[in-house]
A and B are shown apart, each in its own frame.
Chain A
Amino acid sequence: MFKKSDSAWYTLMVLPGFILLVAFTFVPLVYSVIAFQKFNPALGIQGSPWVGLDNFAMLFRIPDARVVFTNTLFIASMKIILLEVVAIIFALLLNDLRFIPLKKAVQTMVYLTHFLSWVILAGILRSILARGGLVNDFLAIFSIKPIYFLGNPDVFPWVLIGSEVWKEFGFEAIVYLAALTAINPNLYEAAEMDGAGRFQKMWYVSIPGIAPTIVLMISLGIGSVLNAGFDQIFNLYSPIVYTTGDIIDTYVYRVGLTQGLYSLGTAVGLLKTVVSLILIGISYLAANKLANYRIF
């Protein structure tokens, strides 16, 4: 049914995506050279003076860079870990639900938040977390003093992590639910014969069954450990929480675009790209070694 010439058509279907990739990823990489210049927009890339590694030297001198790198690492890795833990537990519990309509309804409801943009969710969060908002009113029942969720530097990162988990766990769980359906039912029956209860079945059958998926998801997560979520943070943060909530991407945006320090902003971004590349390499190797997952 397939002719040899068909493959040309399939290749063609890749083209739009490929053009976008080149236009928005490879071409801009060329412009990263401004990280090695004292870039003056009016002079352009050809005209701006070269300064070698000055911008990177500055990067390591100013306290900001350290702060944003640590914040990014902390927020992103906590997000990955907690998101997987919650998604796995949720998938295991949901999988055990016998009443199918309820199972479907719950699943739909929890992954709905995945499709809302952070602009909208941030607005919702702002009112829920405000003084006199839903959460603080609830805490007041237990005589807990109102918490300044978005203005307390100690609490703010956990708001980011918590809201990210809340938004994404339903969607993340889909992968695990799929993995769970692939487990041979005979194994559960055998376990039952041996007198295993519900939780024992989960522990001895379900979890080992989805272990490769878990390892795979976490390995792939390593690659994005420097992406702590620009959209979310940009819509929720303010100067008072910069110490704990400012991440590489928001910093690059502020320094590069708002304050016009193009070269410094690009230097930070380039450094992030290099570190990310290394991490993606590690995650690829880890996925290959631990979960036997290969792309190439």
Chain B
Amino acid sequence: MLQKKIFHFLAVMVIIALLAACAPAATPAPTTEPTKAPVVEPTATTKAAAAAQPTATTQPTATTAPAEPTATQEAAAPAASWKDTDPYKPYSERLSMVLVKGGQENAGVLPEGETIEDNRDLKYIEDTLNIDITFSWIVPSDSYADKLNLAITTGDIPDVMIVDSKQLEQLAAAGAIEDMTPYIQQYANKDILENYNQTKGVALDAATIDGKIMGIPNVQPQADAPIMVFIRQDWLTKLGLPAPKTVDDVEAIAKAFIEQDPDGNGEKDTYGITGTMNPVQVPSNLHGFDAIFNAYGAFPGLFYRGADGKMIYGTVQPATKDALARLAQMYTDGIIDPEFATKDTAKSNEIIAGGKGGIMFGPWWIPWWPLNDSVTNDPNADWQPFLVQDMNGKYTFSMGGYTNSYVVVKKGYPHPEAALKVLNVQNDLSYGLNDAPQYYADFNSIWNTLFPIPFLIEQPYVVERMAREYQEALDSKRDPATFSEAMKIEFGQIQTDIAAPRQDVASWSVRMARLAAASLLAQGYDEVRTDPAAARIYPVDENWPSLKKMEDEAILQIITGAKPVDYFDDFVKQWYDAGGAALLDKMNK
């Protein structure tokens, strides 16, 4: 049967290669595009306090804020001495590190003459630490997980690799990876440690198995989770429509966009709401309906504690049925793309890029991709972000975890801490710390192609904090000269676009994402998250894949009308019977 799998695997590789070859030049993913891991591992607690308010809590102490190194830090650590500290000390003998990587399809975004295996950032990392980085394979992003599973199966594992929580568990059980406990505190730099602190220990807990930290957890910017709606203001203005606040408003706008020929070509060829075969996806989703579910107080895909303190699953709650009824009605009325259920992200992006859609649901960063394509094709496309209120007039969103992937080191690798050191230098390159050079103007679009370990340990609320600081600088309440190099570049781009809107698409993207969209999030919102204990239980539950499949089918079939809305009740019963009830019992123990 393995031969069948290998054959299938090869078949898929060929398909992907062919598709990649046929597809138009891939647009680079922006800074915070989440990995395409199919299983999402939300962690952390329910109903956290308004995410982005804090000045005291999420505003880190000045010495540790990656985006703004301060005088104190520099004074305490004179230019040369940081190299002598544990997190950065170069190896006396050149150390070899074998890696693997996904993202081959993006190689074309690098400047002329640079490759994934040989670029200036990579060289800076190698020179700083005196290590020699090679790749045993580089594959397209989509096949990374499959290829890595295969590599693990054949025992051909690299020195350092990025894994998901299931692989972490398997590798740890097999004793195939190093225990990182002794190294984290000593070799991670201050920024990374502070970012872990800001998750209140949840990130490192997620990587802890039997009391040992078996991998280096990532920390995702929390801003990726809330799904907002971007709407073409130029179309709104043309049709005389007000800015949306509620689901009703979005629907009314969609209806107008379909019927009133906003692009003025005399044909009824514009879409209302776009979607994909993943209508719900935590922690982030392009063209997803997550915001509509959230507006109904439904949090599909999340395990959290209900009013009585018992663990519940969002998808099987009555509120989900209400949201589905609404979506099914929208689908029947033609408000939603009639073919969304068979489209993937790329296919729906074409609608946006082609100027045939004026509404797109997505996280804050979509101005970098795919909205930039829309503006490139039509400089009048004035996309603006909006948040959708829930039925109580508040903003509440489904959140992912802080962590969904881990860097692990192969058992027996002579210097396990080297992985942390590489991440330290990558962090410096990202934020222009410790004199790290800023070689690339479009760094935010290509960082994951440049870096040997495309992995971020970010401040959980960095996006909101930066938005506030940019706004303060615009209001002359903050001196832009205090910004880090990376922030200075972005602030320049924001000013460029304010002076001449949409003339330079790269500048427009930065302004829309970093300032306009992130500022909306910075105003604060409520969060619903999967309970951290539950997050460790369900991904490894034997019934989970089956339950998930049942859920995906039910949601799609109800929205598209293949099943009536009342089928939801049957689905809920089936879900509990097929292992859902047992799973919740396990979590309640």
Contact = CB atoms under 8 A, between A and B. Distances in A.
A270 interface: yes
Is the contact region of chain A dominated by helix, strand, or loop, or is it mixed?
A: helix
Interface residues of A, number: 55
B111 interface: no
Contact of A43 (B11, B174, B542, B574): B174
Closest 5 CB pairs of A and B: A42-B174, A269-B1, A28-B3, A240-B556, A28-B2
Contacts of A32: 1-2
Given A151-B342, A269-B4, A63 B550 contact: yes
Given A28-B2, A230-B11, A243 B557 contact: yes
A150 B338 CA distance: 12
A165 to B, nearest CB: 22
B552 A239 contact: yes
Interface string B1-27: 111111111011011001100100000
B339 A130 contact: yes
Given A25-B3, A269-B1, A62 B543 contact: yes
B545 interface: yes
Given A31-B2, A62-B546, 7 more contacts: A40-B170, A58-B542, A151-B560, A240-B342, A252-B4, A252-B5, A260-B167
Nearest to B277: A238
A253 B5 contact: yes
Contacts, number: 141
Interface string A73-92: 00000000000000000000
B166 interface: yes
A119 B557 contact: no
B341 A238 contact: yes
Interface in B153-181: 153, 155, 157, 166-167, 170-171, 173-174, 176
Nearest to A45: B153
Contact of A35 (B1, B146, B155, B173): B1
Is the contact region of chain B dominated by helix, strand, or loop, or is it mixed?
A: helix
B309 interface: no
A43 B157 CA distance: 12
A265 interface: yes
A130 B2 CA distance: 36
A262 B6 CA distance: 12
B533 interface: no
A243 B553 contact: yes
A61 to B, nearest CB: 9
B328 to A, nearest CB: 13
B173 A28 contact: no
A152 interface: yes
A255 B39 CA distance: 12
A259 interface: yes
A260 B149 contact: yes
Contacts of A43: 170, 173-174
B548 to A, nearest CB: 9
Given A42-B152, A62-B578, A255-B545, A234 B12 contact: yes
Contact of A239 (B155, B556, B578): B556
Nearest to A44: B155
A220 to B, nearest CB: 21
A234 B174 contact: no
A96 to B, nearest CB: 40
Contact of A42 (B12, B38, B170): B170
B145 interface: yes
A64 B546 contact: yes
Given A119-B18, A151-B342, A266 B549 contact: no
A127 to B, nearest CB: 11
A37 B63 CA distance: 51
B454 to A, nearest CB: 21
A242 interface: yes
B11 A240 contact: no
A119 to B, nearest CB: 5
Contact of A152 (B11, B38, B174, B562): B562
Contacts of A296: none
B35 to A, nearest CB: 14
A282 interface: no
A261 B556 CA distance: 24
A249 B550 contact: no
B174 A47 contact: yes
